[in-house]
Structure 1
Amino acid sequence: MNDLELKYLRSLSHQYPTIAAASTEIINLQAILNLPKGTEHFLTDIHGECEQFNHVLKNGSGSVKRKIDEEFGNTLSSKDKKSLATLIYYPKEKLDIVLQEEPNIEDWYKITLYRLVQMTKRVSSKYTRSKVRKALPKDFAYIIEELITEKADIQDKEAYYNEIIHTIIKIDRAQEFIIALSNLIQRMVIDHLHIVGDIFDRGPGPHIILDTLSKYHSVDIQWGNHDIVWMGAAAGHLACIANVIRMSARYGNLDTLEEGYGINLIPLAAFALETYTDVNCDVFSIKYNTDYNTKDLSMDMKMHKAISIIQFKLEGNLIMRRPEFQMADRLLLDKINYEDKTVTIDGKAYEMIDVEFPTVNPDNPYALTPEEEQVMERLRQAFVNCEKLQRHVRFLFSQGGLYKVYNSNLLYHGCMPMDDNGNFSEITVDGTKYSGKALYDVLDHYARKGYYSKNSPGEMQKGQDMIWYIWGGPMSPVFGKDKMATFERYFVKDKTTHAEIKNGYYRLLDDENVINKILTEFGLDTVNSHIVNGHVPVELKKGESPVKCNGKLLIIDGGFSRAYQGKTGIAGYTLVANSHGMRLVAHEPFESTESAILHESDIFSDSFILETSQRRISVADTDVGVELKESIHQLEELLRAYRDGIITEKAL
């Protein structure tokens, strides 16, 4: 035993000061290893759809219903099962309805409490008593533990449990107890949640989703391109701020900024109203949904155009500042011929729909006017001083990254940048070439610098520019296309210029050798591992499958966002991995929370089993199991040191 090992064991002996204490912990950890692994829930590309997200989170992609079926089988009717499921999802709201409609509320309380207790027993059975105890709501922890714990020494168990429930009703605590049990069931059904990118943009409620996630018991996040651009905006990067506002305007979601985050857009509105009042803004139409107030349409179109022009200027300056990004083909403002109303792209002139740009100086097209500079500085101050946005972005940094390796699954949002031959693409950063896993790592490193290196302005600027590159650069693993053709889509009539060519990765999705190469790159075996991937919607109605390479690659973006559902034909995929195997769930569009409560209309989900384990997967087979085995090994070394007299037991 060397000095370092001895030093570690002496430190460990403070926590386990006796042979008995160390032995007890070894027994405890060994028992945990033999428990079934917890259920993992995978969601991706939520895009601000807070109501559907909230519902899928509550029902665990059908996990709650499956537990109800397992527990009650044919002893409950389908109607009663639906009612129980709805109560578990929305206990407070459902109770309000029941109290108005139920003629004998005391009987309903008794029946419901019994069913909820049975469900709590089932969903908590795979966990240690200690873990369950930590999850119990403080106000009812003792009572719930009594109800779900088998008591061998009580002769009349039924009378004992009935008396507890009777007392809960008698002292008028039934409603609070039902809510507590329902929330506990939701909590215990899913042990860990994975969000595989793109919480922001399109839908109206990313701030609501992040409030929910920040309170969730166990979650990790793989950043999507739409997340990273908001993270850059929160850091104060002007090009990222312009992108965030432009997309919010385009999809009629400025309320997310103004009401959700309290960001003052009046400086931009005043500038747009003054500068673009008599300017044609038809190209900048708003893709709004039914909640959009059309009285704001004209104003929003002006703001949309104003921020878009500012964005193209800011991005042009950034591209010239960072020649290593190799994005000079995106410098288009200086390629406009205002007399012919054309723009030259890749050496060819194309007709433009709109060349009315009152703030663009043809001799110096990338220079912001003093008014534009003032607007952007005020917006920058609003973003960096928004406490709620900063809290959410710090959460994304603390719980997230560009990829995650977890229980033999590799999770990332976009792609592994590669050529059509399956060779990993290289990017030069600070004179060093990076590809594969190293590329992910260096981009992740610089993204964190862009937010946290406040004492090193140069490093912070470089990091923020890198965040923008991750958002839309041609070799970015979360973007995965040769260009972001925003300029062409707004201004160029010829739609061939709108094409964004996907990275070679997407043409090699069915090549098992390529998938194996990626798994190996991240240190995973190629037999039992999977890649879980988001970003590109799977078009089920065109016959596309989310399952590639015999189940090794799972692309679970199926259109969670309403903006994509017409294209995909469904409302998203989710993935559930439990101790029995993996299940892919395809969801139909979610009507509304109100309908789910009033009509007990759950999301219709079609699930199919991807993998079934021949033996039940235990904690010992997981990443947590690896850590527990190491802890057991260290404790066994401590026991040996105690027994050999190398370390002396502490007196109790």
Structure 2
Amino acid sequence: MITISNEELRQNIKYLELLSTSYPNITSAVEEVVNLKAILNLPKGTEHFLTDIHGEAEAFNHVMQNASGAIRRKVYEELGSTVSIEDLEELTTLIYYPKEKLELIKKKKDERLLDNWYELTIYRLVRVTRAASSKYTRSKVRKTLPKDFAYIMEELLQEDEHRFNKKEYYTQIIKSLVEYERADLFIIQISQVIKNLTIDHLHIIGDIYDRGPAPHEVMDTLMSQKNLDIQWGNHDILWMGAAAGSQVCVANAVRIALRYANNDVIEEGYGINLLPLATFASKVYKDDECAKFMPKESVQKPFDIDEKLLAKMHKAISIIQFKLEEDVIRKNPSYEMKKRKILNTIDLKDCSIEIEGVRYKLNDSSFPTIDPKNPIKLTNEEKNVIEAITNNFIHSEKLTRHIRFLYAKGSMYCTYNNNLLFHACILLNEDGSFKKKKINGEYYKGKALMDKYDQMAREAYFSKDSSKTSPDFLWFLWCNEDSTLFGKDKMTTFERYFIDDKATHKETLSPYYKLMGKDDGTLAVQILEEFGLDSKDSHIINGHTPVKLSKGESPIKAGGRQLVIDGGFSKAYQKTTGIAGYTLTYNSYGLTLISHNPFESVEKVLKEGFDIKSTKQVIETVTERKRVGDTDTGKTIMDKIYNLEMLISSYKKGIIKQKD
């Protein structure tokens, strides 16, 4: 025990008196110190890092259910030498989807054999749970157990079924669960315990929303996780802006949903009525084929409404978006986006537009809502449409819950266990120095800029003071050159729709990407130190830009200091990446990157035992196994130990009186 001076004890007397209410005497304080010091020597829990999920709920949910392949490995390690392959496959699928698998099994099994199957399965699940819980304290495992079966599970996990005096006791617990028809519920709940113990902490490095069919279901899954953090992506910030009431963010979110025929996300997922847009589009664009606005070719699904109507809605909201964007640029000169004010240069007679001093031919001549004298002015009907939809975004109860969760668990960046996590980039100059950004008369750069953006993003949603940050600032973070969530010089949405010359479609990446791509680790160390991290064994972990594995690109950059883990969860990118997503794991032995093949369906998992095929690549191993004491949690525990030792000293010296 360390020596603590009387002066230091008296300086902390108020805190120590408060602490004494929880630990009223030396015995209780010493008991807690002994427990905490023991915890410091346990292996660190496994962290899972995923990014750019983009609404692919089914594939993401399966990765959560199989813990990126860890549960399968755990089952095979524990039972592989004594159980048939067929039974191992059945057990792993049961852990992934217990409710659904139980229904199938009960239909197939002979009722006379079902009780025996239940007893054997529960026994095997307990063994897997015991293996999964082996690196945790009893206290932590106890907190993971469900209330319904906490006592029973704890007994089964702590007792050895082979111990002579307890064998019948252990067996009778399992038999009773089956006899009193509680086996199904027990299997469902212990399967969840296995999954909770296998993923100790989850990191989502941005872009939950857009492109895929069910980001709202991804959010529901995330809200069920106990330990997680989220680093906002630019697609997330867009929906945060829409929920805050930014019309320009609403228009962008709706446009992207229609582009991928994901109107169900908006209408059924969040209860937002798009009928005003459908009515308006079918009237104003009734004679327009809107061929350029048909849903993406990669989208293969039946449409609830005529895809031609989807195309008309898509074009209608796009024109509204472009008008709103230029109005926001006009109102906010500090955004420095004058070069994106292009609608004012449109010439409807010769069907052309000027972009950065060059005039281009448009591939579309139908612009019935654009006034040549004031191209960015919304028509009255367009105003009514965007106001109605925005009002629905603001008042969607489910969207509000999801966005508030993003604010509660999310941030622009996160430092955790000596790693730096952010979605896209750090603002850099071409020479690798931190780029300064002037905001309200003050300059910010590096970490200070990220902190300022974080603060402003929160103000944009929560502040009711009109003098504070406008919700439209979230649109700035979505697509501005100086946004650390975007990382490009511009967003060329208009050009991609209306100009065939692909030179105009180019979006140049910010210096961060070019410099980090060539970095030997020097720049990465500079960035890590800017965020207060010891660069010796720390890493930068990003998403945002898909790794083109099929073209030989590596996710490991900057001499191993940077890990880019966007492997293409989004189906739209899987041809580019050659895989269907990455999971990065960090356990007590080091870092492992797991690449996933495309997921087919839950039905195939249940009926055929099909699982995502994943490939492990060990990135970095540690010479000495990481313990809890080496983690951020360990630092918190050590602080608590120090405070308890101060309390013990106060008791021994009579500065604070012990209680019975």
Q: Please state which band the TM-score falls in when normalised by the shorter chain.
A: over 0.9
Q: Check whether the contact 1:238–1:380 (CA below 8 A) recurs between aligned residues.
A: yes
The alpha carbon displacement at 1:16 in A equals 1.3
What residue is the counterpart of 1:62 in the other structure? 69
The one-character-per-residue Cα deviations of 1:263-300 (angstroms, maximum 9, x if unpaired) are: 01111111112211123422212116222317521111
Instruction: Give the residue type in structure 2 aligned to 1:201.
Output: D
The alpha carbon displacement at 1:421 in A equals 2.0
Instruction: Give the residue type in structure 1 aligned to 2:253.
Output: V
The aligned runs of 1:425-574 (5 Å cut-off) are: 425-454=435-464, 456-461=465-470, 464-509=471-516, 510-511=518-519, 512-574=521-583
The aligned runs of 1:144-223 (5 Å cut-off) are: 144-150=153-159, 155-223=164-232
What residue is the counterpart of 1:364 in the other structure? 374
Q: Check whether the contact 1:40–1:191 (CA below 8 A) recurs between aligned residues.
A: yes
1:21 matched to 2:28? The reply is: yes
Instruction: Give the residue type in structure 1 aligned to 2:410.
Output: G
Q: 2:418 aligns with which of 377, 383, 408?
A: 408
Q: 1:329 aligns with which of 311, 335, 339?
A: 339
Per the alignment, do residues 359 and 6 of structure 1 end up closer, same or farther by CA in structure 2, a change over 3 Å counting? same
Among all aligned residue pairs of Structure 1 and Structure 2, give the percentage whose two residues are the same amino acid.
51
Instruction: Give the residue type in structure 1 aligned to 2:412.
Output: L
What residue is the counterpart of 1:349 in the other structure? 359
Instruction: Give the residue type in structure 2 aligned to 1:342.
Output: S
Q: Check whether the contact 1:91–1:178 (CA below 8 A) recurs between aligned residues.
A: yes
What residue is the counterpart of 1:36 in the other structure? 43
Instruction: Give the residue type in structure 1 aligned to 2:116.
Output: D
Q: Per the alignment, in what secondary structure is the counterpart of residue 349 of structure 1?
A: strand
Between the aligned partners of 1:141 and 1:234, the Cα distance in structure 2 is 40
Instruction: Give the residue type in structure 2 aligned to 1:27.
Output: V
Per the alignment, do residues 153 and 95 of structure 1 end up closer, same or farther by CA in structure 2, a change over 3 Å counting? closer
What residue is the counterpart of 2:3 in the other structure? none
Q: Per the alignment, in what secondary structure is the counterpart of residue 126 of structure 1?
A: coil
Unaligned runs of 5+ in 2: 1-6
What residue is the counterpart of 1:77 in the other structure? 84
Between the aligned partners of 2:293 and 2:181, the Cα distance in structure 1 is 58
Which sits farther off after the overlay, 425-434 or 2-11? 2-11
Per the alignment, do residues 152 and 631 of structure 1 end up closer, same or farther by CA in structure 2, a change over 3 Å counting? farther
Q: Check whether the contact 1:252–1:292 (CA below 8 A) recurs between aligned residues.
A: no
What residue is the counterpart of 2:400 in the other structure? 390
Q: 2:430 aligns with which of 395, 420, 424?
A: 420
Between the aligned partners of 1:222 and 1:545, the Cα distance in structure 2 is 22
Could you tell me the TM-score, scaled by structure 2's length?
0.96
The one-character-per-residue Cα deviations of 1:200-239 (angstroms, maximum 9, x if unpaired) are: 0011111111111112111110000000000000000010
Between the aligned partners of 1:498 and 1:6, the Cα distance in structure 2 is 65
The alpha carbon displacement at 1:551 in A equals 2.2
Q: Check whether the contact 2:597–2:612 (CA below 8 A) recurs between aligned residues.
A: yes
What residue is the counterpart of 1:597 in the other structure? 606
The alpha carbon displacement at 1:584 in A equals 0.4
Q: Per the alignment, in what secondary structure is the counterpart of residue 194 of structure 1?
A: strand
Between the aligned partners of 2:436 and 2:644, the Cα distance in structure 1 is 45
Between the aligned partners of 2:305 and 2:376, the Cα distance in structure 1 is 33
Q: 2:129 aligns with which of 120, 126, 129?
A: 120
Q: Per the alignment, in what secondary structure is the counterpart of residue 619 of structure 2?
A: strand
What residue is the counterpart of 2:148 in the other structure? 139
Per the alignment, do residues 645 and 320 of structure 1 end up closer, same or farther by CA in structure 2, a change over 3 Å counting? same
Q: Check whether the contact 1:405–1:411 (CA below 8 A) recurs between aligned residues.
A: yes
Q: Per the alignment, in what secondary structure is the counterpart of residue 481 of structure 1?
A: coil
What residue is the counterpart of 1:609 in the other structure? 618
Between the aligned partners of 1:642 and 1:41, the Cα distance in structure 2 is 43
The one-character-per-residue Cα deviations of 1:49-84 (angstroms, maximum 9, x if unpaired) are: 000000000111111112123212422333332221
Q: Check whether the contact 2:591–2:618 (CA below 8 A) recurs between aligned residues.
A: yes
Between the aligned partners of 1:245 and 1:564, the Cα distance in structure 2 is 21
The alpha carbon displacement at 1:151 in A equals 6.7
Instruction: Give the residue type in structure 2 aligned to 1:495.
Output: K
The alpha carbon displacement at 1:549 in A equals 2.6
Q: Check whether the contact 2:289–2:308 (CA below 8 A) recurs between aligned residues.
A: no
1:8 matched to 2:15? The reply is: yes
Q: 1:99 aligns with which of 82, 106, 112?
A: 106
Between the aligned partners of 2:487 and 2:226, the Cα distance in structure 1 is 32
The one-character-per-residue Cα deviations of 1:317-371 (angstroms, maximum 9, x if unpaired) are: 1111111111111111001122221111111111111132111111111111111
Unaligned runs of 5+ in 1: none
Could you tell me the TM-score, scaled by structure 1's length?
0.97
Instruction: Give the residue type in structure 2 aligned to 1:246.
Output: R
Between the aligned partners of 1:376 and 1:460, the Cα distance in structure 2 is 21
Q: 2:325 aligns with which of 315, 322, 325?
A: 315
Q: Check whether the contact 1:48–1:201 (CA below 8 A) recurs between aligned residues.
A: yes
1:304 matched to 2:334? The reply is: no
Q: Check whether the contact 1:443–1:466 (CA below 8 A) recurs between aligned residues.
A: no
Q: Check whether the contact 2:237–2:478 (CA below 8 A) recurs between aligned residues.
A: yes
Instruction: Give the residue type in structure 2 aligned to 1:122.
Output: A
The one-character-per-residue Cα deviations of 1:511-561 (angstroms, maximum 9, x if unpaired) are: 011111111111111220011110100011100111113321111101001
The alpha carbon displacement at 1:644 in A equals 0.9
Between the aligned partners of 1:548 and 1:57, the Cα distance in structure 2 is 27
Instruction: Give the residue type in structure 2 aligned to 1:313.
Output: K
1:267 matched to 2:280? The reply is: no
What residue is the counterpart of 1:247 in the other structure? 256
Between the aligned partners of 1:54 and 1:550, the Cα distance in structure 2 is 33
Aligned residues, how many? 648
Q: 2:389 aligns with which of 379, 383, 390?
A: 379
Q: Check whether the contact 1:481–1:501 (CA below 8 A) recurs between aligned residues.
A: yes
Instruction: Give the residue type in structure 1 aligned to 2:107.
Output: Q
What residue is the counterpart of 2:287 in the other structure? 278
The alpha carbon displacement at 1:152 in A equals 11
Q: Check whether the contact 1:280–1:356 (CA below 8 A) recurs between aligned residues.
A: no
Between the aligned partners of 2:226 and 2:101, the Cα distance in structure 1 is 24
Q: Check whether the contact 1:403–1:413 (CA below 8 A) recurs between aligned residues.
A: yes
1:46 matched to 2:46? The reply is: no
Per the alignment, do residues 11 and 152 of structure 1 end up closer, same or farther by CA in structure 2, a change over 3 Å counting? farther
Q: Check whether the contact 1:198–1:223 (CA below 8 A) recurs between aligned residues.
A: yes
Between the aligned partners of 2:442 and 2:595, the Cα distance in structure 1 is 43
